[in-house]
Amino acid sequence: MSFFSELFENYLFIAAAAAWLVAQIIKTALDLVITKELSLERMIGSGGMPSSHSATVSALATAALIKCGASSHEFAISAILAIIVMYDARGVRRETGNQAVVLNKMMDYFSNEHPEKDLFDENNLKELIGHTPLQVSIGAVLGVVIALILSLVY
């Protein structure tokens, strides 16, 4: 059996990958509706509604629970991973984005007010990095639902 055929028969992998893809599509569609512009960067970018990180790890943990059981190593590892990833998305990464907003404003101010504009030749920092608790929660629910739906196929 080839690597790819085995991979596409792996329910845990497919559930996680499908959850990521669906979350990214929803995120891109919501951005299109709000901004009236198609930003393909949203398909691979982080931040926004819903959290694709949360959807991915929640689908993985749910699939591991369904396929392997609550006492399995697969579930234990994926559940702890999910907790860490969702905590990080809501906490550390969100604060990094908030700091980027402030730093970008400072860079704009100093670039406009001072003739030494060459000191600030860097591009603006990426501001949309982390997630709000709602974005994390919706991503987690999406991941669980996708894993449950795919369990009917696998």
Digit-coded pLDDT (tens) for 26-74:
999 998 998 888 888 888 877 789 999 999 999 999 999 999 999 999 9
- The model carries a pTM of 0.77
Structure-derived torsion over alpha carbons of residues 12, 49, 129, 20, reported in degrees to the nearest 10: 20
What phi, psi does 115 have (nearest 5°)? Answer: -70, -15
Give the model's pLDDT for residue 125: 55
Where are the chain's structural domains?
A: 3-91+130-151
Point out the least confidently predicted range of 54-58, 98-102, 146-150: 98-102
Confidence of residue 89 (pLDDT cuts 50, 70, 90): confident
In sequence order, which residues have a C-beta less than 8 Å from that of residue 68 and are 6 or more positions away?
74, 75
Confidence of residue 84 (pLDDT cuts 50, 70, 90): very high
Q: Please write the tens of the pLDDT for every residue from 119-141.
A: 555 666 565 666 788 999 999 99
